Amino acid sequence: MIEIKDLLIKFRNLLLSEETKKICIQNVLKQEIGLEIKSDDIKIKNNIIYLNTKPIYKNEIFLKKEKIFLALKESMGQKMPEDIR
């Protein structure tokens, strides 16, 4: 009989990868803009980053969107998100 922990191992790996993506996004935003965002304020759904921040910070992010995506591509490779909202 298969134990439930064996079945849930692949889901644990998925959760860890989401946390890794959030940490990578935090580092890139801090490096490119100088903005520190909590990991609770970052959501990734359908390969799109949703940020829960003040509008003034979002404007700064959208102005430097190309630089942010270049840095994300360098750090994440092929698994980088498609858009920021």
Domain ranges of the chain: 4-84
What pLDDT, on the 0 to 100 scale, is given for residue 18?
A: 81
What pLDDT, on the 0 to 100 scale, is given for residue 83?
A: 85
What pLDDT, on the 0 to 100 scale, is given for residue 41?
A: 92
Q: In what order do the strands lie in the sheet with 42-45?
A: 42-45, 48-51, 83-84
- All residue ranges of the chain with pLDDT < 70 are 1-2, 7-16
Helix (H) or strand (E) holding 69: helix 65-76
What pLDDT, on the 0 to 100 scale, is given for residue 14?
A: 60
Helix (H) or strand (E) holding 56: helix 55-63
Residues ≥6 apart with Cβ < 8 Å to 34: none
What pLDDT, on the 0 to 100 scale, is given for residue 46?
A: 87
The conformational region for residue 32 under phi > 0 = left, psi -120 to 50 = alpha, else beta, is: alpha
Query: 82: which DSSP letter?
Result: S
